[in-house]
Amino acid sequence: MNVILFGATGMIGRGVLRECLRDDSVTSVLAVGRTPLGVTHPKLRERVRSDPSDLSAPDFDPAAYDACFFCLGVSSVGMKEEEYRRVTYDLTLAVARPLAAANPGLTFVYVSGEGTDSTERGRSMWARVKGRTENALLELPFRAYMFRPGIVQPVRGIPSRTRLYRTLYAVTAPFIPLLRRIAPDLVITTETLGRAMIAVATPGTEVPGHVLRPKDINRLGTARDQA
């Protein structure tokens, strides 16, 4: 498959990129973002744009791609709802709508979050905005899957770009093995997340629905790794 990847400089995006480059079923990856990755690979092409939603280029053909993995996102900490909506809902849909119109056969995977509010009416600002984004994506004429990971553990040298998250990971790392024993479906690794994305974009994979929770992601990722 040919994959478009948004957000490959972030922790989750880097994990997904790593799995795409390792997987024999992925023929090529087009990474779209604001900054260069600093990674070279025969499968990888980059498109660096100040506006990642700008896909206008004579050599870009949406119909040539089988999947779009959208890992681009920001923390809502310290942000007002209008600003967060602009960089979450508006940007995501600015990418998704033209892709769906040009290629209805595309599989679009969106990284949301556990606790997302599908009703769009809850008290949590980020959860409402994420819920609105999910709902809009699910209405578009392509195959859309909403990934709602819980705790994502970076592995294989994948770092977080956010200083607060790096500190939290460093502090909580010793407790992750215990947490995985107590609640095995709560923790997802960046490796498993990437494998699960490839799985849902692979024809013939049995997917339990269009909104995938941590248990679903772990099952799909583990099964893909054993395939």
pLDDT for 117: 95
Phi first, then psi: give them for residue 192, nearest 5 degrees.
-65, -40
Helices (H), 68-213: 81-85, 91-102, 125-138, 163-172, 176-182, 190-200
Beta-bridge partner residues of 48:
33
In this structure, are residues 169 and 160 in contact, taking their beta carbons and an 8 Å threshold?
Answer: yes
Rounded to an integer, what distance in angstroms lies between the CA atom of residue 227 and that of residue 125?
39
Distance CA(214)–CA(220), nearest Å, equals 10
Specify the pTM.
Answer: 0.89
The residue type of 41 is H
Query: CA dihedral defined by 117, 223, 209, 194, rounded to 10 degrees?
Result: 50
Output Rg (C-alpha) for the chain, integer angstroms.
17
Amino acid 178: pLDDT: 62
Query: Where are the alpha helices (H) located in the chain, listed in sequence order?
Result: 11-22, 81-85, 91-102, 125-138, 163-172, 176-182, 190-200, 214-226
Q: How far apart are CA 129 and CA 15, in angstroms?
A: 25
Measured between alpha carbons, how far is residue 182 from residues 73, 125, 159 in Å?
29, 30, 25
Distances in whole angstroms, Cα of residue 134 to Cα of each of 47, 85, 91: 25, 12, 13
> Tens digit of pLDDT per residue, the chain (227 long)?
999 999 999 889 999 999 999 999 999 999 999 999 999 999 999 999 899 999 888 788 999 999 999 999 888 888 999 999 999 999 999 999 999 999 999 999 999 999 999 999 999 999 999 999 999 999 999 999 999 998 888 776 555 555 545 555 555 566 566 666 666 677 888 999 999 999 999 999 999 999 999 999 999 999 887 66
Contacts of 192 (CB under 8 A, 6+ apart): 217, 218, 221, 222, 225
